[in-house]
Chain A
Amino acid sequence: MEKRIAAAKAVLFVCCLLPLAHYGIALWQDTLGANPIEALTRGLGDWALRLLLITLAVTPLRRATGWAWLLRLRRMLGLFAFFYACLHLVAYLWLDQFFDWVDIGRDILKRPFITVGMATFLLLVPLAATSTNAMIRRLGGRRWQRLHRLIYPAALLAVLHFTWMVKVDITEPALYGALVAILLGLRAWWRFDDARGTLAPRHRIIPIQIRR
């Protein structure tokens, strides 16, 4: 089992790097169209959001399948979501604003979609910072779990950021919004159900465990 999980992690690691490789190659070959910097910035944002949603899908998938080992892939997915969010942010700070901090500050204060994007990023920072085993131990499982529920508002804000960025057709952000609604709605439903105590044991929340 340990070997299989290690293999799954290796495969997942490579898969999570594929979007980055795609954009690297596309930039190199100049196939990102007339405005490659815009395409790159948006693409990195898309992948940050997608990986955030995939991370949020781990628990529902685990509960649906009963495969507890899925949980052990979650940290990597979350960290990759953060990784792409960092690249997305750097693309904005560098390629869009060229580190003009006055303009960046004005953007953050005056433009709601930038404000929300920045807030999303800030919510993700403590999650990445406390992703190590040592931090989980230091915080204690319960507090750690409570902190990591910040991913819920982060997902909502990420969709809002996308929606407010779009000029007219909000179909795409609306689709992401629907997925977030499902993923968060499931959790609300479980909470409600747990409170009624009707769930079978295997559906109960598994406390986070650290493997040494």
Chain B
Amino acid sequence: MLIRRPHDVPPSEITPKSVFAQRRHFLQFAAGGALSLALPAAHAGDKLPIAARSPLSTDEEPTPYRHIAGYNNFVEFGNGKEVPAERAHRLRTAPWSVTLDGLVHKPRTLAIEDILKLAPLEDRVYRLRCVEGWSMVVPWVGFSLSALLKQVEPLSSARYVAFESVVQPDTQPGVRFPLLDWPYTEGLRLDEAMHPLTLAAVGLYGEVMPNQNGAPIRLIVPWKYGFKSAKSIVRIRFTDHEPPTTWNNLQPEEYGFYANVNPEVSHPRWSQARERRIGDFLKRPTRMFNGYADQVGQLYAGLDLHKYY
């Protein structure tokens, strides 16, 4: 097994000491699980070693696994919500690495096995609101993305982060057609990306991520519409300007760069005032920032959310 350690950066510099100590504890506790993860390829359904349930979790009833893993937008595999679940098993998720570069001190390419060891894995039960007007409650597994981003020491000039999804023409029929501008690219402001709620997700329901949900590693930004949360990420690039993003390029008046969940700003083709929680008959009112206003509202103080939708 290949374990690359950053000799030049002591982990204590990257992470607060308490977290670092906790991580050592976690590694001991999880060594067996992590080994079995790292050696052969991890497969959807394999158990993940989870340290704790994050206090950032919602108490709402999670959406059943079969719906979370059976109702997906993953245009790389084709159109239709059931299509990704039928086709995504072909995606090669091992070997997998993520390149972090751009405006950083230490550009690096990290193997997924090493990324999994950067921080203790947590259960994070988040609301997910799709721009199409439906929502779920998903028990993700992962850790705050900031733990990954700090590895490369962003320069002070870095203001934005761009996330690039994988393109595998032989396993992803959708990328053979220019439906979207491949690779799928999403972006966040650096402060959004560093926010504790922003998640590097590697699993759900305590298990390795099903491919159709964006294995082996994806972004989750729970206060933004789902399309912001790029799947199957291979590259994270730090920039000083707002990066072009896929849906925004396609239809700027329908999909903004910010794409914060906002019941007051309607999409040109549908109202965003309400949503149907998968499994519910009645619709429910959509909440500002998808119910995370207390945590993230201050990120947008002074920003005209009608203009920067």
Residues of chain A at the chain B interface (Cβ within 8 Å): 33-35, 37-38, 95, 98, 103, 106-107, 110-113, 164-165, 167-169, 171
Contacts and interface: CB of A to CB of B under 8 A. Distances in A.
Contacts of B66: 34
Contacts of B71: 33-35
B273 A111 contact: no
A34 B179 contact: no
Given A34-B67, A107-B271, A171-B79, 7 more contacts: A33-B70, A35-B81, A38-B134, A106-B271, A111-B268, A167-B132, A169-B78
A111 B70 contact: no
Interface in B252-309: 266, 268-271, 273, 276, 278-279, 281-283
30 contacts: A33-B67, A33-B71, A33-B81, A33-B82, A34-B63, A34-B66, A34-B70, A34-B278, A34-B279, A35-B81, A37-B276, A37-B281, A38-B134, A95-B281, A98-B283, A106-B271, A110-B266, A111-B268, A111-B269, A111-B270, A112-B269, A164-B269, A165-B269, A167-B132, A168-B75, A168-B179, A168-B180, A168-B250, A169-B79, A171-B79
A35 B63 CA distance: 12
A111 B63 CA distance: 30
A35 B134 contact: yes
A180 B30 CA distance: 62
Contact of B81 (A34, A37, A98, A106): A34
Q: Dominant SS at the A interface?
A: helix
B74 to A, nearest CB: 12
Contacts of B82: 33
A95 B276 CA distance: 10
Contacts of A110: 266, 268
A34 B66 CA distance: 8
A73 to B, nearest CB: 33
List of 9 A-B pairs having minimum Cβ-Cβ separation, nearest first = A34-B71, A34-B67, A169-B79, A34-B278, A168-B179, A111-B269, A169-B179, A35-B134, A34-B70
Nearest to B69: A34
B270 A103 contact: no
A113 B254 CA distance: 14
Nearest to B130: A35
Contact of A113 (B67, B269, B273): B269
A103 B271 contact: yes
Contacts of A165: 269
Nearest to B280: A37
A33 to B, nearest CB: 6
Contacts of A33: 67, 70-71, 81-82
A141 to B, nearest CB: 42
A165 B79 CA distance: 14
A164 to B, nearest CB: 7
B222 to A, nearest CB: 19
A128 B76 CA distance: 43
B139 to A, nearest CB: 16
B253 to A, nearest CB: 12
Contacts of B282: 98
Contacts of A95: 281
